[in-house]
Amino acid sequence: MCGIIGYTGSENVKEVLLDALELLEYRGYDSAGIAVMEENEIQVYKRAGRVKDLREKCAGKAENSVCGIGHTRWATHGGVNDTNAHPHQVGRVTLVHNGIIENYRELIADYDLKEKLQSETDSEVVAALLDRFYEGNPEETIKKTVSKLKGTFALVIMFADHAGVIYSTRNVSPIVATLCKEGAMLASDLTALCRFTNNYFVVPEYHILEMKEDSIKLTDFDGNEKEPEYLTADWELNSAGKNGYPFYMEKEIMEQPDAIERTIANRIVSGMPDFTAEGVPDSLFTECDRINIIACGTAMHAGLVAQALVKSILHMHIDVDMASEFMYSDPVIDEKTLVIAVSQSGETIDTLEAVKYARRRGAKCLSIINVKGSSIARESDYVLYTNAGPEIAVASTKAYTTQLSIFYLIVAKMAQLRGVYDTEQTQSFIRELQRTPEVMKKVLEKRRDIHVLANKVLSAKDLFMIGRGLDHSILLEGSLKLKEVSYIHSEAYASGELKHGPIALITQDTPVVASVTQEKLMSKELSNIKEVRSRGADIVLFIKESLAEDIDSQYQTFLLPDMRDEFMVMPASVALQLLAYYVSSDKGFDVDKPRNLAKVVTVE
Ligand code: AGP
């Protein structure tokens, strides 16, 4: 999950690299480094810490470089220190790497590389092997080295005697590239490119990209030159900035009404769900006899909401699998299974490998993805893109609710096609979905009230979130948000389950966040809240406004604007995102870059 950048062109190379690394820092931020080429000398500047620390280290240096590469690290092999930071330089070779080389120890032994190595990383072994094989031809050296590697890699390489030239090759780990008026640039993802251009191409696996100031060359491993397949990102160039917010997470929470609007607008025709534009055939929804959702983290939580909708409305069999467990759980998958993969980045390797496995078993795969042209998108039979725009904060917010909005469209489409809903029922369901942006805005307008509630849990070490049915799914996501940005140990429980053990943990003043949005579950949920209250719990209650008569005044309560019960996840999620955000920001944390995390998980 590292951030990689390479640039050769007319701009100030060091500044381009450092600015790009700041945009990529959300991908990993244990350490950072750049390597710049001046005449035939490659200088490396790197250190543990953030890009701002690296900028200090480079002050006044590397002002005349003609090309360079850079890296922000999420440590996999080797601790967080200056030596293990990238770039790695061995002899005439300097490189940065994203991925995991599984056989690096064997390579050290087979090629007697130990003496050449300074760090504990697998990446430096690749540099040493390249240097070992290098006899003046970069392409041949890269091919020979790659043939020895097992694992995943995005490699960006400079050779000391090839001034102004950058090479790259990949397997699974992502690389996008472009040639624009400022020169040639490659990066781990679009956020670093969209400062210069919206036009980019994905470097195909097992190809070699050669970048010079005014040219790029793409060749396959048989030496055949290939034409890059350019794509256009539908992102506003400046949308990758904070636009005045202190953190990306707040900006992205606030953007959700517009993001939902953008995601559903072109998929509703005459009040009915319509995927014609994306070429998704109705048969995909009518010929399957089961659905299997595969995703990780927040994306998997979106799947849980979809599962509740599919069961309650379509009465279909549906599984939701954590992608990391999927292949090892003997899933029941065949050609009658519709697999739906959900991923903001489209690069989560657990999800990517699970999709490949499912398709090998004959399943059709529809993916819900935010990043165009990403690996999972390219691996799928059909893709429905969320139009959330770049999501920079590690904690996923607008990606989650736009994923949900696509699931609502899919459920409506399937209900209509399978005769569960007639036209009026389908249009009524869609109209409720179209209310989502205005309802979310009502929650955002009351965010100061949520900030007050955040202060009630600020000092908590442990915290419970309790609810039943859809409320439980809502709280699983709310709990993950709080965990990952505030480091409070928060657990979401189906509230009926508490009395089977976990209630033993409730003591005086234990903070308990409850969600009550489902009318049919309300009375039992309120009873469960009383059970924990009677044992001293401090209650923070998020409740649907129309259900909130006679609520115990001792509860700190936030009234959620009304929607049909099956849509209440939308306002509730925004409220819980804000709760997590305010707790983290009031604790003084770097909300966008929580410790140990990275935005894109490209290691299994
Ligand atoms: C969510 O806040 C986390 N950042 C994480 O759980 C994330 O949702 C998960 O890693 C999946 O990422 P993806 O959507 O890019 O596949």
pLDDT in tens, 449-463: 999 999 889 989 999
Measure the CA–CA gap between 45 and 86, rounded to whole angstroms: 9
Active-site annotation holder among 398, 481, 593, 599 = 599
Please give the share of the chain, as a percent, with pLDDT higher than 90: 82
Query: Does the pTM of the predicted model rise above 0.85?
Result: no
Residues in the chain: 604
Instruction: Please tell me if the CB atom of residue 67 comes closer than 6 angstroms to any atom of ligand 1.
Output: no
Task: Decide if pLDDT at 79 tops 90.
Answer: no
Q: Which atom of ligand 1 is nearest to the CA of 351?
A: 16
pLDDT at site 372: 86
Residue holding tokens 């959700």?
256
In contact, 320 and 452? CB cutoff 8 Å: no
The residue whose C-alpha atom lies closest to atom 8 belonging to ligand 1 is 298
Task: Tell me what pLDDT residue 24 has.
Answer: 85
Nearest to 20 by CA among 64, 68, 56: 68
Ligand 1 in contact with 174 (CB < 6 A)? Answer: no
| Tokens linked to 301 | 């939580």
CB of 577 sitting under 6 A from ligand 1: no
The ligand 1 atom at the shortest distance from the C-alpha of residue 395 is 2
Residue 377: per-residue pLDDT: 94
Task: Tell me which of 172, 252, 300, 344 to substitute to probe ligand 1's pocket, judged by most ligand atoms within 8 Å of the beta carbon.
Answer: 344
Q: CA 173, CA 99: separation in Å to the nearest integer?
A: 6
Q: What is the pLDDT of residue 185?
A: 97
Ligand 1 centroid to residue 299 C-alpha, Å: 6
Q: Is 599 a catalytic residue?
A: yes
- Asked if pLDDT for residue 604 goes beyond 90, the answer is no
β-pair type (31-38, 41-48) = antiparallel
Residue 416 in this model has a pLDDT that exceeds 80: yes
Which ligand 1 atom minimizes the distance to the CA of 297? 6
Ligand 1 pocket check for 351: Cβ under 6 Å: yes
- CA 577 – CA 395 distance, rounded (Å): 9
Q: Pick the catalytic residue from 2, 67, 288, 365.
A: 2
395 lines ligand 1 (CB under 6 A): yes
* Distance from residue 291's CA to the centre of ligand 1 (Å): 21
Residue with the bigger pLDDT between 390 and 313: it is: 313
Cβ-proximal residues to 445 (8 Å cutoff; 6+ apart), any chain: none
The Cα–Cα gap between 517 and 457 comes to: 21
Ligand 1 centroid from CA 22, angstroms: 20
Question: What is the 3-state secondary structure of 452-464?
Answer: HHHHHHCCCCEEE
Residue bearing the CA closest to ligand 1, atom 3: 395
- pLDDT tens figures, 87-137: 999 999 999 999 999 999 999 999 999 999 999 999 999 999 999 999 999
The yes-or-no verdict on residue 560 having pLDDT over 50 is yes
pLDDT at 241: 72
Q: Is 413 a catalytic residue?
A: no
Residue 64: per-residue pLDDT: 82
**How far apart are the CA of 346 and the centre of ligand 1, in A?**
10
Looking at residue 552, what is its pLDDT?
Answer: 81
pLDDT value at residue 237: 46
Q: Is the pLDDT of residue 238 over 60?
A: no
In this structure, the residue with its CA closest to atom 6 of ligand 1 is 297
Distance of CA 272 to the CA centre of its chain: 30
